[in-house]
Amino acid sequence: MKINNIGNHGINPYKKQMNKMEQVNKSGKQVDKVEISGAAKEMQQLSSIEKERQAKVEQLKKQVENGQYKIDPEKISTSIMKYYRP
């Protein structure tokens, strides 16, 4: 039994793809660009409320580490009641 090569001889199927990639590279690269608006930049910065909250958290951390943090059950129960009964 003899099998003859049918079709195109000596054609590299990947050559077309390589040619396309070379053309894209020669035509100039397009670069993605992202711009952040002024409003978004303001939102990224820490607000005064967040700064105050961070200072309070730091103070509480120091109290817990030193063993000076005291839990007031009356205050906790009052806060829970205010939360569930507006």
In the predicted model, what is the mean pLDDT of residues 60-71?
A: 93
Residue 57 lies in a domain: yes
Lowest mean pLDDT among 36-40, 48-52, 75-79, 81-85: 48-52
Residue 31 lies in a domain: no
- Give me the phi and psi of 56, to 5 degrees please: -65, -40
C-alpha 15/C-alpha 44 separation (Å) is: 48
Residue 18 lies in a domain: no
User: For residue 6, what pLDDT is reported?
Assistant: 67
User: For residue 65, what pLDDT is reported?
Assistant: 94
pLDDT per residue as tens digits for the range 20-64: 777 766 666 667 788 888 888 877 776 777 888 889 999 999 999
User: For residue 80, what pLDDT is reported?
Assistant: 94
Residue 26 lies in a domain: no
In three-state secondary structure terms, 25 is helix
Residue 80 lies in a domain: yes
Residue 60 lies in a domain: yes
Residue 61 lies in a domain: yes
Based on the structure, what is the number of domains in the chain? 1
Strands (E), 3-84: none
What would you report as the CA-atom Rg of the chain, rounded to the nearest whole angstrom?
34
Q: Print the domain residue range for 59.
A: 47-86
Query: Is the pTM value of this prediction over 0.95?
Result: no
User: For residue 4, what pLDDT is reported?
Assistant: 66
User: For residue 20, what pLDDT is reported?
Assistant: 75
